[in-house]
Amino acid sequence: MPSLTVLVLGGTGPAGICLLRELVHRKHKVVAYARSPQKVPEDLVSDPSLEIVKGELSDKAALDRAVAKVNIVISLLGPLISDRTTPPNSIPDFYKNSLFPAMRRHGVKRIFAMGTLTITQKEDSWTMLQPTINLMVRTVFSNAYRGITSIGKAFEIDAKDLDWTIFRISAIPGGSDKESWAKDREDGKPFVGYVGQKGYTYSFPRGALARWLVDAAESGLQDWYLGLEIDNESAFKWSYGRLRSAETFPNIVTHIHSSLAIQPIILDMSYPDLTTFKALSFDCYGTLIDQESGMIRGLQPIIRRLPSESDYKKNPVLLIQRFHELTQVLEEGEPTLRYGNIVSRSFKSLANELNVSVPEEEMSHLESLPGTWLPFPDTIPGLQILKKHYKLIILTNMDNVNASSTLKHLQPAEFDKVYTAEDIGSYKPAKANFDYLFDHLRSDLHVDKDRGELLHVARSLTADHVPAKRFGLRSVWISRGGEKKEGTGVGGDYERLRENVAFEWRFDSIGKFAEEVERQFGEKTA
């Protein structure tokens, strides 16, 4: 049996106390990080295997001291489902801004975190409880729902270098006193697999969950299946893989808390309900249109004339990033200037900056250049799927002439409205652009952002997701590789901007986003 020193988060609730009992019973060293140490039973406090570190989630110094002592983390953290006052992002922000950095500093790579039934997989079978619980929590406890759906995003994007597993739980009855824990750990049998499979059950005791977690921590991923009921090898692989993307959230213990007195988490970054919105507003260039490839083609007159040792010639992405910086300066300084003019002037500024002489005949097309950029291969099929379920709107920094050309490239996909920077008189991320969107959607299409009817879909963090957070607009990040440092492009650096964004979903492409929308609407009508 490996030697473990375990940091337990959320250890003062009933499930957490059962976990502490299981760990000290097996002679592991335990560090409980607790805001209210007095909630830990006296018989545990007196156990030499347990150390309690008092601290708030905001106390980074105390947390760092706790993480320095351990080699694995088990988290049962989650907001009270009825809490309407705590900021929704408090726990995901704790994970990504405090816990994950502390783990990296001290070389702690392994973490288990709790999730619930709202995490869905294609292999799940339909059950009555799953959509019922999702609807109830989303409708009645919307503040908690919005906060805890962000936890999945924190793991998927911010814990890429850690070994993490999210386990789903449901009703976990049973006491946390020593006698109840001792009985339940022997009698309870956890189910491992997918919702609705043979052997699936909505309930097993807290003591059984604690035993299962410590079994998993002791034996590692290679032999977690020992002593557990697994229907097939596929379920085992899905349950215990090293999880990296929105498509591979785990199905480990497929349950949800039924008692509101327990602290539940709904951890669901990739599959929160997308069927409640009436309209989607899109950033166009970079999201629907392959802006960066178009920029590289358009900058070839400069690239061809650069010396071979130039970093810009070796890596054209650096060149388009500099070009984009120049366009942003003009957008901010001259907000009524048409985008085609901005492109032309930025091109000439870049050429002068690099001491490159480009003949006038090679620059005559620059104002219409954006209208030549083409859609990503997944864009048009994805938009056609999305059009079946929503009104579609474009909010773009483009001018009217180039936008008109772009709409032809996007055919046969259709949009209900297109709002351009030329119409608005300013460029995103300006507040005026989003006010224009909200006001015109109410009057033009009877879509109200404040009633939760609008979802913004965008690639650019700087132009779209930063203002979306500021203005309370729910959003989807179409990352197009931007979640990786090498894929940042012109959309903004996530590592630098993550404090300023609050998108609730991430998909690699419009196509992937549309697939999930279609799946959810299909399940809803089945």
Residues annotated as catalytic (active site), given as ranges: 283
Residue type, 475: S
Neighbouring C-beta atoms of residue 357, cutoff 10 Å = 9
Beta strand 417-420 pairing with 391-396: parallel
Give how far Cα 56 sits from Cα of 4, 94, 414, Å.
Answer: 24, 10, 51
Distance CA 379, CA 21 (A): 53
Nearest to 135 by CA among 254, 270, 256: 256
- Is 191:204 a contact under the CB 8 Å cutoff? yes
Nearest to 465 by CA among 432, 425, 435, 494: 494
Torsion angles phi and psi, residue 395, rounded to 5: -120, 105
387 Cβ contact list (under 8 Å, min separation 6): 413, 414
What is the dihedral angle through the alpha carbons of 295, 300, 306, 312, rounded to the nearest 10 degrees?
Answer: 30
Is the sign of the CA dihedral 403, 404, 407, 408 positive or negative? negative
- Is 236:146 a contact under the CB 8 Å cutoff? no
Nearest to 6 by CA among 49, 42, 62: 49
Distance CA 138, CA 142 (A): 5
Beta bridge partners of 203: 171
Is the sign of the CA dihedral 306, 307, 312, 315 positive or negative? positive
The label of the residue with tokens 């490996």 reads 2
Q: Longest C-alpha distance within the chain, in Å?
A: 86
Distance CA 485, CA 476 (A): 19
Nearest to 181 by CA among 5, 16, 34, 40: 16
DSSP string covering 181-196 = HHHHHHH---EES-TT
Nearest to 483 by CA among 250, 153, 163: 153
Give how far Cα 384 sits from Cα of 27, 288, 407, 455, 511, Å.
Answer: 58, 12, 14, 17, 10
Residue type, 87: P
Torsion angles phi and psi, residue 425, rounded to 5: 90, 15
- What is the DSSP-derived secondary structure letter of residue 135? H
